[in-house]
Amino acid sequence: MTGDKLIEVKNLKKYYNKGSLHALDDVSVNINKGDVMVVIGPSGSGKSTLLRSLNLLEVPTEGSIWFHGVDITKKKYKDETGAVVKVNIDTHREKMGMVFQHFNLFPHKTILDNMILAPMKVKKMSKQDATEKAMSLLKRVGLEDRADAYPIQLSGGQKQRIAIVRALMMDPEVMLFDEPTSALDPEMVGEVLEVMKELATEGMTMVVVTHEMGFAREVGNRVVFMADGKILEEAAPEKLFDHPCHPRLQDFLSKVL
């Protein structure tokens, strides 16, 4: 499973304020199938920007992102026959599930409607099929009895578990997590990490921006340390946490561990 390149990020740069702020400064990284890549670093280091660039919620200033052999940062490309094909970002986003710090469930829809909306509108799934699928996913995270509740009626941990299964409804090839536990009360962090861990065990490709070092060490197979918009160190978790090389990483770990 592991090894095939899924996403290739090449020389990605993101500048704000006409170039005075370098959120991403020449970042290159590959994400392979089955990877659980955890991105750590101090706030403002560009880790969220990198994650959000992967599905173009953030449009990079320079560089390219290759997904399924297509540079999704370009508006169009030439296929093997030389014909010009438009890049439709929606079809790529469909394959990249995303989970946000603040859940971003749709407050005007029930949990079930939150989950079946995109499959019905984008994949043209029938309501019945979508509902069946949603119910089995809800069962997996132990929330099948909340299908008809509205998001506001759920706890933070429950909301985030719903956000994860909502993304899973689209059968993504990779899941992007943007600080999924940072907005949660401490006692709810565990239930969300548990679901993520289960996903990782099933072989889902994941990119996780987090401050949960325990999760990074236990579940990640690669850990990337970012600071000032650059990737300063990348290694397997044991190596990165036990034998950090870069002084910035040593400093960071001494503060968070």
Partner 1 sequence: MLSIEGFQKTLKYWTMFEEGLVCTVMLSLFTVLFGFILAMIIALMRMSKSHILKGVSSVYVEVFRATPLMVQLFIVYHVLLADIDLPTFKMFGFIRFERFIPGVIALSLNSAAYLSEIIRSGIQSIDLGQTEASRSLGMSQWQTMQHVVLPQAIKNILPAIANEFVTIIKESSICWTIGVQEIMSAVNSVKAATFTIAEALIIAACVYFCLTFPTSKIIAYFERRMSRGDRR
What is the CB neighbour count within 10 angstroms for residue 42? 16
Residue 159 makes contact with partner 1 by CB under 8 A: no
What is the CB neighbour count within 10 angstroms for residue 88? 12
Stretches 31-39, 70-78, 144-152, 184-192: which one binds partner 1 (CB under 8 A)? 144-152
Closest CA to 5 of 61, 63, 60, 65: 65
Residue 91 makes contact with partner 1 by CB under 8 A: yes
Stretches 12-20, 137-145, 159-167, 246-254: which one binds partner 1 (CB under 8 A)? 159-167
Closest CA to 163 of 198, 195, 200, 197: 195
How far is it, in rounded angstroms, from Cα 50 to Cα 99?
14
By beta-carbon proximity to partner 1, the closer residue of 14 and 248 is: 14
- In 141-185, where does DSSP find H-type helix? 156-168
Return the residue of 7, 47, 100, 112 that touches partner 1, per CB under 8 A. Answer: 100
Return the residue of 10, 42, 71, 117 that touches partner 1, per CB under 8 A. Answer: 117
Site for partner 1 in 37-66 (CB under 8 A): 55, 57
- Torsion 32-33-39-44 (CA) sign: positive
By beta-carbon proximity to partner 1, the closer residue of 57 and 213 is: 57
Stretches 113-121, 136-144, 211-219, 228-236: which one binds partner 1 (CB under 8 A)? 113-121
Residue 141 makes contact with partner 1 by CB under 8 A: no
Largest CA distance in the chain: 55
Size of the site for partner 1 (CB under 8 A): 31
By beta-carbon proximity to partner 1, the closer residue of 98 and 227 is: 98
By the 8 A CB rule, do 90 and 123 touch? no
